[in-house]
Chain A
Amino acid sequence: MKIAVSATESTLSTPIDSRFGRAKQFLIVDTDSNALAVLPNTQNLNAAQGAGIQAAQNVVNAGVQAVITGNCGPKAFRVLKAAGIAIYHCSDRSAGDAIKAILSGTLQPAESANAESHWS
């Protein structure tokens, strides 16, 4: 399974970036091969509008099946849902620990967005 994690740094020990649309970057982790790639999100960091939508489009294009992030607004949630991507809300551990929690089934996917539009 390929998972995108919003992250502040480029390693798995880094904390999850609580923001989705304006996250610094996404770690794209292939849990089968343990391959790690970094998807920059800098173009959305300063976007006036639609940052969540564009970030969602980018992770959809990266071909992930799941997203781990701290907070996800309604528009990004709609995009990810339409693409059939599971969304996990988590911010209290490292990116690597959150992936382990998904694989072990202790972290459950979200049913709805957990932040308002323009949450920062």
Chain B
Amino acid sequence: MVQTDPFVLAVASGKGGTGKTTLSVALAQVAGAPLYDCDVEEPNAHLFVRPQWQDKQDVTRRVPLIETELCTGCGACTELCQFNALIIVGHKAMVFEELCHSCGGCRRVCPTQAIHETDVTIGSVSLGLSAKLTLVQGCMAIGQVMAPPLIRATRNYHHNVPPAKLAILDCPPGTSCPMITAVRGSDFVLLVTEPTPFGLNDLQLAVETVRQLQLPFAVAINRADSGDRRVHDYCQREGIEVVIEIPELRHVAEAYSRGETLLEALPQQRQLLQNWLHQLCPGGLA
């Protein structure tokens, strides 16, 4: 039987700390779907999933390596590089790996074949299983700064992940390369926000971003009854559907601080999430 690709639901936000992980874990639990923690700079879904780690694979990316004897210091590579990752000092090229975007262009333009490529480990992808769910986690190595290749590797990790009709991505915050890498190619984006001026400002940026990427999306409002109504008003004005609202409750925050999931703290949310998922992706619930 040919396994069809799962429906990919990306849970993102502009502002950090709005509840992406809280909702991602809850949605994955409700659907019985694998959860991909793509917030590789600070993955934290495992704190709630508490998995047994089964497998771990290093992820590398290619960066230039200069063979000094062959380098004439002509500067062809530095002219090509758009990220200032190479410069010529003392008639030899010098590499700044952390600025390199691994395009391989410098190697191609080098007239003396002085540039080779070498693998740098940027992090790892791990598979974890718990009674609650299957977790795939990307985790960047200390000192690394280039998240997108690791996010792609996390999204593409299939080894020993049980086949599923739906997959949930817990995405990085913000609206820059990591967030875009995580949401691009997904089937639907759920933008999680909170009813505060920061929440609204960053939601607007995130909406602009997913609109540009031409991805269908809806909004979830966490701590929905705190703050003010400006997020609700904005969504209404823009014709954006608010599909999930989670109330502000002290005991939910307390449960979170103990590493308990939203469904454990607020069991009545299960039916609401289930209804929405059923609407979004009929047949996606295990």
Binding site for B on A (CB under 8 A): 47, 49-50, 53-54, 56-57, 60, 75, 78-79, 82-84
Contacts and interface: CB of A to CB of B under 8 A. Distances in A.
B83 interface: yes
A31 B85 CA distance: 33
A60 B84 contact: no
Q: Which range holds the interface residue count of chain B?
A: 10 to 19
A79 B87 contact: yes
A47 B84 contact: yes
A57 B89 contact: yes
A49 B94 contact: no
A53 B90 CA distance: 14
B96 A50 contact: yes
Contacts of B85: 50
A114 B89 CA distance: 21
B90 A54 contact: no
Nearest to A82: B89
B88 interface: yes
Contacts of A50: 83-85, 96, 99
Interface string B55-89: 00000000000000000000000100001110111
Contacts of B96: 50, 53, 75
Contacts of A47: 84
B205 to A, nearest CB: 18
A83 B90 CA distance: 6
Interface string B149-182: 0000000000000000000000000000000000
B190 to A, nearest CB: 30
A57 B87 contact: yes
A54 B88 CA distance: 10
Given A49-B84, A79-B87, A79-B94, 13 more contacts: A47-B84, A49-B83, A49-B99, A53-B87, A53-B96, A54-B84, A54-B87, A57-B87, A57-B88, A57-B89, A79-B89, A82-B89, A84-B90
